[in-house]
């Protein structure tokens, strides 16, 4: 595969990205095509943010970029100068490369676990980014892992840079079990084009892999690491998903 750097990852074996791609990826594409997770609204807001925030060329790091389809659309007609996408899945990165071809900027794609790669990028001390984006991927980490991970991001940000988190967010005082139950009720009600088998895959994935935090918790973690400014730029009508912007 050309243009994609491969880094070995211990996570790769356990997560099974090839399996994820072939099985869950198709369902995820169906979810995106029907806008069940609100990508259209969220990425429209992201585009507005990037246009208003960066009057000068900027560099973006996209962690868990997947096929970068929505990111590419959000980056059109912005001052993007360079884009680096990281994902566990090779096939997703191959598609990301094609999707990003419409955006006029330097692109790099790295296959590997972003938790490990962020440490490596920090140690290399070469890259600094104006935007670090992580969209629908942080919630797989447990609270301590999220804390450690967010703590590392600061040293990868250029002066004046922003950290953008798009993810599932639970309500204050809502525990994980209640959130998952509420989210799945929404899936059953609104994701009407899923087949019973697809619903079952979604339910299994969410029940086993989703660990949402409250906005308050995410804000507290980021404040601990000197992200003193915080804005919620989007919250969906079901109050399950948010676009949060952190800066220093």
Ligand X SMILES: C[S@@+](CC[C@H](N)C(=O)[O-])C[C@H]1O[C@@H](n2cnc3c(N)ncnc32)[C@H](O)[C@@H]1O
In the numeric block, which tokens belong to residue 207? 């029940």
Q: Is residue 93 a contact residue for ligand X (CB under 6 A)? A: no
**Biggest alpha carbon distance in the chain?**
49
Instruction: State yes or no: residue 163 binds ligand X (CB under 6 A).
Output: no
Specify the stretch interacting with ligand X by CB under 6 A; choose among 113-121, 144-152, 169-177, 190-198.
Answer: 113-121
Our CB check for ligand X shows the closer of 40 and 231 to be 40
* Cβ-based nearer residue to ligand X, 110 or 221: 110
Our finding on whether 17 is near ligand X (CB under 6 A) is yes
Closest CA to 70 of 120, 123, 25, 135: 135
Give the shortest CB-193-to-ligand X separation in angstroms. Answer: 18
Contact predicate 7/117, CB 8 Å? yes
Work out how close the CB of 228 gets to ligand X at its nearest, in angstroms, rounded to a whole number: 26
Of residues 57-76, which lie at the interface with ligand X (CB under 6 A)? Answer: 64-66, 70
Nearer Cβ to ligand X, position 55 or 97?
A: 97
Q: Which residues contact 16 (CB under 8 A, 6 or more apart)?
A: none
Nearer to ligand X, 92 or 194 (CB): 92
Among 4, 5, 11, 225, binds ligand X (CB under 6 A): 11
Q: Is 212 in the site for ligand X (CB under 6 A)?
A: no
**Residue closest to 27 by CA, chosen among 213, 238, 214, 203:** 203
Binding site for ligand X (CB under 6 A): 11, 17, 20, 64-66, 70, 86-89, 92, 113-115, 135-137, 140
């Amino acid at each position: 595969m050309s243009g994609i750097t491969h880094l070995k990852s211990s996570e790769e074996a356990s997560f099974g990205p090839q399996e994820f791609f072939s099985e869950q990826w198709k369902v995820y594409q169906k979810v995106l095509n029907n806008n069940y997770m609100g990508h259209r609204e969220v990425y429209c807001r992201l585009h507005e943010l990037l246009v208003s925030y960066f009057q000068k060329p900027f560099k973006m790091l996209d962690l868990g970029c997947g096929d970068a389809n929505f990111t590419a659309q959000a980056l059109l007609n912005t001052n993007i100068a360079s884009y680096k996408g990281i994902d566990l899945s090779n096939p997703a990165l191959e598609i990301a490369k094609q999707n990003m071809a419409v955006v006029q900027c330097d692109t790099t794609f790295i296959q590997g676990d972003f938790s490990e790669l962020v440490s490596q990028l920090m140690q290399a001390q070469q890259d600094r980014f104006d935007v670090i984006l992580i969209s629908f991927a942080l919630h797989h980490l447990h609270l301590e892992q999220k804390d450690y991970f967010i703590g590392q991001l600061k040293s990868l940000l250029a002066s004046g840079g922003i950290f953008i988190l798009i993810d599932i967010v639970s309500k204050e005082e809502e525990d994980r079990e209640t959130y998952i139950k509420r989210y799945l009720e929404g899936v059953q009600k609104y994701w009407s084009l899923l087949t019973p088998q697809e619903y079952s895959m979604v339910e299994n994935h969410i029940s086993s892999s989703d660990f949402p935090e409250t906005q308050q918790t995410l804000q507290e973690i980021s404040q601990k690491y000197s992200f003193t400014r915080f804005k919620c730029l989007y919250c969906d009508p079901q109050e399950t998903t948010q676009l949060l912007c952190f800066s220093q």
